[in-house]
Amino acid sequence: MGFDGLMRNKVLLVSGGTQGLGAGIAMAAAEQGAEAVAVVGRNTENGREAVKRIEAAGTQAMFIKADLSKMPQVGTVVETAVKRLGRVDALVNAAGLTTRGTMLDTTEELFDAHVAVNLKAPFFLMQQVIAHLRERGTSGNIANIITMSSHGGQPYLAPYAATKAGLAGLTRNAAHAHRCDRIRINGINIGWTATEGEDAIQRRFHNAGDDWLEKANASQPMGKLGQVDEIADFVVFLLSERSGVVTGSVVDWDQTVPGAYD
């Protein structure tokens, strides 16, 4: 097997799959021959558009409307996908909350919101998929989208860094626990990435102008921010058989090196 058709005969479930990196991963999986892709999100219009794009690539698609901050809705996601698509072979936890908050100004409400979306929802989506795979007696793959901020992060990302660090630990714990089930679980610590969500954040929280992306690209060692298509291709590779036996890895996908200084 080469690097074409990496997702052939696979059914993929992507939380946060209606926009940004999640949508990019869903499309990359479709382009790599996925049998079906289910995308999860809150916005119905975005979900419908994502389904259209995936279907245009020749892959069956469905949208699952769910607010991942609400456990009753999280609890039905995998069941809904299985009922419609027959099974789930792989999961990507790409949904995430990045609302700003420091150690001093983060409220309990904000902290709980980050825990719910960034840690609790991935935990229980993983639980559901792992149980489903074990019931089928088959192997499977999970990829968790984490962040370079899980190493510590910026002062204004305190709840985000805390919950994503928890997800990194959970990734390793679950990978160890289910390696003998042949369920591989890996994480990707993404760095600063050019998405529509990042554009909104820069304008809302950092008073960025229309040229913020141009300036941000110029400030980076490689001359650009992380690109959705490049990260998506890497995630699909991790979900595929071509990544071999790798499990429990949390890969720093960035152009900065933690612990290194000028």
**Which pLDDT value is given to residue 2?**
61
Instruction: Tell me the sheet residues that pair with 40.
Output: 15, 64
Mean per-residue pLDDT, 39-45: 97
pTM of this structure: 0.93
d(CA 156, CA 104): 10
Q: Would you call 160 a catalytic residue per the annotation?
A: yes
- pLDDT tens for 193-241 read 877 777 777 788 787 888 888 888 888 889 999 899 999 999 999 999 9
DSSP run (H or E) holding 3: none
Look at the block and give the residue holding tokens 């984490």. 146
- In sequence order, the 6+-apart residues with CB closer than 8 A to the CB of 142 are 90, 91, 92, 93, 126, 129, 130, 174, 183, 184, 185, 186
Q: Is the dihedral of CA 11, 147, 243, 256 positive or negative?
A: positive
**Which pLDDT value is given to residue 29?**
98
Mean per-residue pLDDT, 161-171: 98
- pLDDT tens for 94-149 read 999 999 999 999 999 999 999 999 999 999 999 999 999 999 999 999 999 999 99
Which fold does the domain 11-253 belong to in CATH?
Rossmann fold (3.40.50)
Residue 44 pLDDT > 60: yes
Pick the catalytic residue from 63, 160, 192, 253: 160
Instruction: Tell me the sheet residues that pair with 250.
Output: 187
Which tops the pLDDT comparison, 80 or 209? 80
Look at the block and give the residue holding tokens 């079906």. 36
**Which pLDDT value is given to residue 210?**
85
Percent of the chain with pLDDT over 90: 84
The ranges assigned to domains in the chain are: 11-253
Percent of the chain with pLDDT over 70: 99
d(CA 59, CA 77): 20
Instruction: Tell me the sheet residues that pair with 131.
Output: none
**Helices and strands in the chain, H and E counts:** 10, 9
- In sequence order, the 6+-apart residues with CB closer than 8 A to the CB of 35 are 7, 8, 9, 10, 11, 59, 60
What is the gyration radius of the CA atoms in the chain, in angstroms?
18
Look at the block and give the residue holding tokens 């990435």. 193
Average pLDDT, whole number, for the chain?
A: 95
- pLDDT tens for 9-18 read 999 999 999 9
